[in-house]
Chains A and B, each alone.
Chain A
Amino acid sequence: QKEVEQDPGPLSVPEGAIVSLNCTYSNSAFQYFMWYRQYSRKGPELLMYTYSSGNKEDGRFTAQVDKSSKYISLFIRDSQPSDSATYLCAMSATYGQNFVFGPGTRLSVLP
């Protein structure tokens, strides 16, 4: 079992849809969780950062962490074609530790 798993997609949705992206993990020590967006041939861009369990909202994006289930989610409301990218989850046990990345989910938002 991989340490972090993520549905690779591709996931295609119509413009305006609510998108749910998910990661599961096996290491219960993880407590720092991040979501990155990566456009083709570009470096990843940090979207959301969450510590421990709970929800965090930023504009159209909401990150949820459920440590009891070892499950994190990123919701995108009112999805736009510009949201078409690969979304990577990343997590670490301490702030000084290297991240473990999920394999990424490719999202296409169709106009």
Chain B
Amino acid sequence: GAVVSQHPSRVICKSGTSVKIECRSLDFQATTMFWYRQFPKQSLMLMATSNEGSKATYEQGVEKDKFLINHASLTLSTLTVTSAHPEDSSFYICSARTGGRAEAFFGQGTRLTVV
């Protein structure tokens, strides 16, 4: 099956610093990548969709200057949480899909804790 690797799996950072999360498709070309946020015992909340080589499309209410998404290649997308604050603490998950396919494959998730 298709494998998506997300790194780091867990990160703790100080308030005001920036954190970068990487999402890689290991055995397929990810033409589209999605970034989600998930609160405890809740479903996935889509933050943004990115297509390789294009600017990300953000969902309503998601600050694009705070959550910087880069999808520079067909195997790598990054999410940078800038000037993190404790309220940004959450579980962030990426997923990737290749062209012509409906199903998407998820990374392992990153638990971000801002102290």
Q: How far is the CA of A51 from the CA of B101 in the complex (A)?
A: 11
Q: For chain B, residues 90 to 115, give those with C-beta under 8 angstroms from any C-beta of chain A.
A: 91, 93, 95, 100-109, 111
Q: How far is the CA of A99 from the CA of B95 in the complex (A)?
A: 11
Q: How far is the CA of A101 from the CA of B45 in the complex (A)?
A: 9
Is B44 an interface residue when CB atoms closer than 8 A count as contact?
yes
Chain B contacts for A34, CB-based, 8 A: 102-104
Chain B contacts for A46, CB-based, 8 A: 1, 103-106
Inter-subunit contact B108/A95 (CB<8 Å): no
> Would A95 and B102 be within 8 Å (CB), given that A44-B93, A88-B44, A102-B43 are in contact?
yes
Inter-subunit contact A98/B103 (CB<8 Å): no
Nearest Cβ on chain B to A13's Cβ, whole angstroms: 20
Interface residues on B, range: 20 to 34
Nearest Cβ on chain A to B52's Cβ, whole angstroms: 13
Inter-subunit contact A43/B106 (CB<8 Å): yes
Inter-subunit contact A41/B100 (CB<8 Å): no
Is A36 an interface residue when CB atoms closer than 8 A count as contact?
yes
Q: How far is the CA of A18 from the CA of B107 in the complex (A)?
A: 29
Is A32 an interface residue when CB atoms closer than 8 A count as contact?
yes
Q: What per-residue 1/0 map shows which CB atoms of B20-41 lie under 8 Å from chain A?
A: 0000000000001010000001
Nearest Cβ on chain B to A95's Cβ, whole angstroms: 4
Chain A contacts for B42, CB-based, 8 A: 103
Q: For chain A, residues 33 to 60, give those with C-beta under 8 angstroms from any C-beta of chain B.
A: 34, 36, 41-46, 49, 51
Inter-subunit contact A98/B46 (CB<8 Å): yes
Q: How far is the CA of A106 from the CA of B41 in the complex (A)?
A: 9
* Extra A-B contacts (13), CB below 8 Å, given A43-B106, A94-B102, A98-B49: A34-B103, A43-B6, A43-B109, A46-B1, A46-B105, A49-B103, A51-B102, A88-B43, A95-B100, A98-B34, A99-B104, A101-B44, A103-B42
Which residues of B come within 8 Å of A, CB atoms? 1, 4, 6, 32, 34, 41-44, 46, 49, 91, 93, 95, 100-109, 111
